[in-house]
Structure 1
């Protein structure tokens, strides 16, 4: 009797991969709806330890949530107002930088000709239109004002999540076939993600502050914007700090010269060396439990699936997936592949 071409086990694997593809396709299509929920969830995870500390000093939970969210809203309003002022300043000053941008191009033109690279500086000059930059800055200001409503809706979602936290364990236990094992796994995932996010937020805040001070000392324009960029991109593993350094270095190189640009590069290298290689590993303690390759691949995967927010949250999302896989017999082998065996 002839053997079947596809065994039952093989068919099961094919079906599982098919379902996975369908689920991922659905998540990608619905990313606009899913991303705000995921972002609100992780903000709630970061904020919840503050709420619990206030509860320990006998502050009612609702009042504690109100106080913390009020402070966040106040800081967000100040931040957006300041960013709006900076973007208005950028709109006014862009035209006077046109000549400064063209001069370096004209200086390197002879070198390009000797190297056999034929580039017309006059043609490039036509593409440098200050009106386009002003239009872009105006559009950014408009988007910034429109973002206010989205931010308040996001914070409203966070508030309801924080209110629901005390009742959540009871509801989850009723849904599980093995409540004790399931709750241990959920608590472990929450502790790991909370540990990572809280420490990463503190490190990112300090990194942004140090970058701001460094750029002010070097008299770099729009230092606050670049510091905010350093804070935000510090959440992206491996390449975030490099991406944050590119715009200010390019600005200084074009408008101030090579020597000043090298100083900015040296400043970023020193900050990333101290925070990325010394302070952060010590504060993170035993590590993330993920291999370096997995961290980088997760950055690409979550960025493709969820966009920029996926890149920012790639590590905690992968940690949560790894812990979930460890709870099933079929997923344990995949969890081992994701883990850093030298730290297990």
Structure 2
């Protein structure tokens, strides 16, 4: 006579949920790497038609990839240059903005007495101190050094993916067999 087996569906569900938690925790822990790889994959997909276009024109693949990556780096450098120039212009205009804001706050206080503003314009401007803005932006620019390291890793990954993209159909055919 057989003994009845206990129902293990609860155990299976619990095991599947535990596996899901472990997988999601791993994805969360590797989020920085996964984001870098997905961004590199995006750039490789976007830049591959340019590489293919150069190859059709008779340029060898390594030279075509070098040309495309150099053009991409020049475009990124130009973008960073434009952003830095805009940032410097903003910093130089900040005292003028503060004076203009003070003038407008005084006018607003005179024109709208029913607002019953309890803070003087000087006190409001103290909270928007230009030195704090400069300190914040300096810290922001310091953080860009870490971003540059990420960009370097991104460019190297894109180059690797562009070199390997021609082998993908062969790998798919090999895996299908």
Same structural fold, with TM-score higher than 0.5 when normalized by the shorter chain:
yes
Change (3 A) 1:11 1:146: closer
1:192-248: CA deviation from partner (whole Å, max 9, x where unpaired): xxxxxxxxxxxxxxxxxxxxxxxxxxxxxxxxxxxxxxxxxxxxxxxxxxxxxxxxx
Superposition TM-score, scaled by structure 1 size: 0.43
What are structure 1's unaligned runs of at least 5 residues?
181-344
Verify: 1:155 aligned to 2:155, yes or no.
yes
- Counterpart CA distance in 1 for 2:15 and 2:113 is 61
1:31-90: CA deviation from partner (whole Å, max 9, x where unpaired): 223221221111111111222222233332222111111111111122222222222222
Contact 1:40 1:158 in 2 (8 A): yes
> Match for residue 166 of structure 1?
166
> Match for residue 90 of structure 1?
90
- Counterpart CA distance in 1 for 2:120 and 2:173 is 68
- Counterpart CA distance in 1 for 2:101 and 2:29 is 41
- Counterpart CA distance in 2 for 1:144 and 1:111 is 46
User: How much has 1:161 moved relative to structure 2?
Assistant: 1.0
- Residues 208-287 of structure 1 aligned to structure 2 (within 5 Å): none
What is the CA RMSD across the aligned residues, in angstroms?
3.1
1:82-133: CA deviation from partner (whole Å, max 9, x where unpaired): 22222222222212211333455552774644xxxx7635543321100011
Verify: 1:21 aligned to 2:9, yes or no.
no
> Match for residue 133 of structure 2?
133
For the pair shown, the structure with the greater C-alpha radius of gyration is 2
- Counterpart CA distance in 2 for 1:111 and 1:25 is 56
Superposition TM-score, scaled by structure 2 size: 0.76
Contact 1:91 1:138 in 2 (8 A): no
Change (3 A) 1:48 1:2: same
User: How much has 1:158 moved relative to structure 2?
Assistant: 0.4
> Match for residue 54 of structure 2?
54
Change (3 A) 1:120 1:153: same
Change (3 A) 1:167 1:111: farther
What is the DSSP-based 3-state SS (H/G/I as helix, E as strand, rest coil) of the residue aligned with 2:155? helix
Change (3 A) 1:55 1:13: farther
- Counterpart CA distance in 2 for 1:170 and 1:22 is 33
> Match for residue 296 of structure 1?
none
- Counterpart CA distance in 2 for 1:37 and 1:87 is 30
User: How much has 1:160 moved relative to structure 2?
Assistant: 0.8
Contact 1:94 1:130 in 2 (8 A): yes
Change (3 A) 1:14 1:102: farther
What is the DSSP-based 3-state SS (H/G/I as helix, E as strand, rest coil) of the residue aligned with 1:52? helix
- Residues 187-206 of structure 1 aligned to structure 2 (within 5 Å): none
Change (3 A) 1:119 1:153: farther
1:265-285: CA deviation from partner (whole Å, max 9, x where unpaired): xxxxxxxxxxxxxxxxxxxxx
What is the DSSP-based 3-state SS (H/G/I as helix, E as strand, rest coil) of the residue aligned with 1:92? helix
User: How much has 1:16 moved relative to structure 2?
Assistant: 2.9
